[in-house]
Structure 1
């Protein structure tokens, strides 16, 4: 594995660990406020056929109509005994009373009447209420108090089941605990479990395997979580939003109590419980903004158990495996690709995982984590963007540093901001060329050691380079002990002749200082000879596009500048008449006269720059 993989791999592993932490930090994960609503929306997508309530489940409502007819709650327990008798005579297979009766009645005759009915009919289930401290985590399952049916009712333990409904962090009831441990560690089954078992065959009953703690429906394992909770399938919405054809059949408590003949309840599971907001037995659910009565939640859970259909949530190991897989795939892809390609991969993977998640949900009823893998995917993608940007900035700085050795920083910045591509070929531009050569270099090199020659040469070339860059010129190349530079390219300047002459004067001035230094040190000094010409030239990249490009200028203008330099005496700055015409009013210039240069049929007029105007 190359070193270039180390940084993205390290960053990807950190992101992966963060995603796993967010997923495992609690039962619902750190992003439950996003994950849970997304899952809820999928659960709402069920069709009416898929959400068909079981017509064997009936609800006897303790509603406002019953309260108005019977009187203020709580009622005498003899009233429940009478209703149970009516339901048994109507052929009910199981009856659940969702009204806590933990204290003895003031009238012992009422308790005795209900006790007689419970002893007579073993298919009646009474509620057990587990009370937990307000700030305790539900997962601890250490009850502060347990409200059993009053001993005066003489209920058989097999006729008792808990009615607790737990809510998630967002306050919604999505699961029901199949059983809760009592003070002795013995599990009290859920109200829905006890009632469903009265309907199921012996081979299909819901039981807890004491050996491994697994809840089973017959031979099939129920996908309960670590808190013995199973996800409830909601076949109905809160009764306030359902019509008679799509909800569980309901009867008013007082109507059952006053019925003169058997009701059509043969083989039914009948739940009796509060159906009034004021009785404080309602909870938010994933299927509706309107709260659902506890008795309705129990009815939905009973149907879930009867049908044996559950939403299986991916266990933490499976969820972690998915996050690892998505993170590793993202690390590989986004380190390999960047720009638009990486964006397309990101969108594709993001959508693909969402589609796979939906398919798993719809086909397999399997709830895989959604937000956490996509969080890892997005985080790795964002990191890749930042990483590639930093790499490009680093490369840009490197290239800028290299390019900055040839042109001034202002020229580099302007070129980078222009965004123009470097390509083979050139264009015709009006520029000014300077050729500089060191006079007396050969005799000096004969007297000095090679190391000293290189040192002196570097100091002279440094003087030239600084002067060129000071006036926004471009260093074309070093030619042995000479220098070629251009002004007006690659960035065009209208005053490039002036800039070139000022750079030449700067070179001459600094060269004089350097010469004094060398005379003192080595007893020998050298001077510059400079030639300057202005005019049109072809400027661009010349060479091999694949291997090496050389940014330079070619043409007669270049040749003449080189010829002027070769004719310049030590310490002399010669300019052509083309340059003279543009700067004659800016500097002290004297005519030299016409000279014959190589490559020209006719002599050319030459001028010498003495210096700046005083």
Structure 2
């Protein structure tokens, strides 16, 4: 494994660690509770309305009731007493009276009448939100009086979550069990709600639907005997105010935070307890496992896949997980959403960032490698083709290979200082490199004063032969003259130098070779070998440029070239026909 691969893996591990840490932090600190609650609301919305409990109904003091009684809330205790007596005749299983009775009215006789009516209607659960230390209440003057009446006190309080929305039901508050818990327990003998279901802020209320999903009847109709007896018989009847003037309405998880009157809210809570709290969170260890699984997905996938596929996989995992959470919700399990999704997003962003940084770094490295010998317009195409691990993959291309040599330079260098030799060599190579690059060639290597270049690789070009000949003519013509003039100005030579250039066209193997620490571009094959041989023959033939028949046949205009005839080329069995400039 290369150092770059190791570094990339360490960075991916860091991205996974950050993603997992972000998800677990959100999970354990509750920093994303608002988003988590919103996800639960969305799951209620997707699930839609359910069939309400057949055991619970609501009798409402609505605006029509107040108008019919020509009264306002709170109704006189005497009217309430008559109502309780009338409701008792329907033979309900339990009356859950969601009306505050903690203070005496101005009519003691009416208070006594209501107390007696409650005693006759037993069992009755009475709601209050005024609780004394130790869970005691002042309903009817005190808990002993309530017990004597065969009634039970219950705390009508609901915790309000983010956005003022009511979503959960506590088992007890301030030492007094919740109104819904007490009502469910009183209505069903032997029912013992599990306290564990109420952990972490309370039990999730399993809302059957939005407002008016629970069957509702009017107080006035019950008082006047206009409700069918079967509608209330053997039912838990929740009695409360729904009149708009009283504004006892609350946003809930049901149907887009639909506002729901307190009585129906209590009815849903009672049905939840009767149903053994059907909506429950999963164990903490499973929540942690889900967070880590999604957080690690992208960093692990990025070790094998490209960015686009990893992001596509992450999006698919997100969609699949959201579907899973909805299916689990429909089955009664609430899987976390906010923390796992945060882990997934941070993991995908972190892995993409790592990949981008390492990719950019690698692209810059490859650009640095190729920019030395590839024309500027070709660099981007070359880098785009390059593989991030092994550089430019080996391919077979039709190209023209050029070899050049500066004749007499070795002898010249023997009589010069090292600084002068390097200065002269750099001036020569700069001049010739410009000629090659301007013609569209790729410089493969510098070999002292020799240059190897290729045209038509690594990016294919059908005009490679024409470009190679143009570069050779420029090198041996104007470029060489300018270089020799520069030497004469410095008094380094009188005669100047001559050059030899060999060109050959054919199939070459093109690609990068080397290690992760050092990589170079090259072309190999018989075409390359012949070009080198032709360059070496230029001096003996007495020409500056020598090109093979294969190069000649590819030229668009070969009119100015001289046919040298067939020559013996070292390393080849048959003679080769060549041309000179």
Fold equivalence (TM over 0.5): yes
- The 1:563–1:236 alpha-carbon spacing in structure 2 relative to 1, beyond 3 Å, is closer
- Equivalent-residue separation in structure 2 for 1:96 and 1:423 (angstroms): 83
1:501 matched residue in structure 2: 473
Structure 1 residues 341 and 119: alpha-carbon distance in aligned structure 2, compared to 1, 3 A threshold: closer
In 1, the alpha carbon distance for the partners of 2:34 and 2:497 equals 74
Distance 1:441 1:566 in 2: 18
Q: Deviations over 1:41-68 (max 9, x none)?
A: 354275xxxx35223x333221333222
- Contact 2:58 2:238 (8 Å CA) reproduced: yes
Give the Cα–Cα distance (whole angstroms) in 2 for the partners of residues 76 and 147 of structure 1.
Answer: 21
Corresponding residue of 1:196 = 184
Tell me the equivalent position of 2:171.
178
2:110 corresponding residue in structure 1: 110
Residues 1:353 and 2:321 aligned together: yes
CA distance in 1, matches of 2:34, 2:143: 46
Equivalent residue of 2:207, what SS? Answer: coil
Instruction: Please state how far the C-alpha of 1:415 moved relative to its aligned partner.
Output: 4.3
1:258 to 1:501, Cα distance in 2 relative to 1, 3 A: same
Contact 1:434 1:484 (8 Å CA) reproduced: yes
Q: The residue matched to 1:336 in structure 2 has which SS? A: coil
CA distance in 2, matches of 1:18, 1:335: 21
Higher helix share: 2
CA gap 1:576/1:369 in 2 versus in 1, 3 angstroms: closer
TM superposition shift of 1:196: 1.6
- Shift of the alpha carbon at 1:478? 4.0
Q: Could you tell me which residue of structure 1 aligns to residue 280 of structure 2?
A: 312
Which residue in the other structure is 2:408 paired with? Answer: 439
Unaligned segments of structure 2, at least 5 residues? 570-574
What residue in structure 1 maps to residue 63 of structure 2? 64
Matched position secondary structure for 2:206: coil
Are the aligned partners of 1:96 and 1:270 in contact in 2 as well (CA < 8 Å)?
yes
Query: 2:497 aligns to what SS in structure 1?
Result: strand
Do the aligned residues in 1 keep the contact of 2:22 with 2:342 (CA within 8 Å)?
A: no
Q: What's the counterpart of residue 531 of structure 1?
A: 500
Q: How does 1:318-397 map to 2 (within 5 A)?
A: 318-338=286-306, 342=310, 345-346=313-314, 349-363=317-331, 365-397=332-364
CA contact (8 A) 2:440 2:467 kept: no
| CA–CA separation in structure 2 for the residues paired with 1:443 and 1:555 | 27
Partner of residue 538, structure 2: 564
Unaligned runs of 5+ in 1: 132-141, 182-186, 206-216, 585-590, 608-614
* Between structures 1 and 2, the one with greater strand share: 1
- CA shift at 1:367, angstroms? 0.6
Measured at CA, do residues 20 and 507 of structure 1 come closer, stay the same or move farther in structure 2, by a change above 3 Å?
Answer: farther
Match of 1:31 in 2: 35
- TM-score, with structure 2 as normaliser: 0.76
- What CA distance in whole angstroms lies between the structure 2 residues aligned with 1:576 and 1:308? 93
Shift of 1:311: 0.9
- RMSD between aligned residues: 4.6
For residue 208 of structure 2, give the secondary structure of its aligned residue in structure 1.
Answer: coil
Q: After superposition, what is the alpha-carbon deviation per residue over 1:227-255, rounded to whole angstroms, capped at 9, x for unaligned? A: 3x21112235422xx5xxxx43x443223
Structure number with greater CO (CA < 8 Å, separation at least 6) is 2
Matched, 1:13 2:17: yes
Aligned: 1:162 with 2:161: no
Q: CA deviation at 1:360?
A: 3.5
Q: Does 1:231 align with 2:204?
A: yes
Instruction: State the aligned residue count.
Output: 543
Per-residue deviation at 1:90? 4.1
1:510-553 deviation digits (Å, cap 9, x = unpaired): 3553577695xxxx89953223577x722532699999984265
Deviates more, 1:281-290 or 1:412-421: 412-421
Shift of 1:104: 3.4
Judged with a 3 Å threshold, the aligned counterparts in structure 2 of structure 1 residues 497 and 336 are, in CA distance, closer, same or farther, namely closer
TM-score, structure 1 length as denominator?
0.72
C-alpha deviations, 1:303-325, integer Å up to 9, x for none? 22123133112366643342123
Question: Is contact 1:435-1:565 (8 Å) kept?
Answer: no
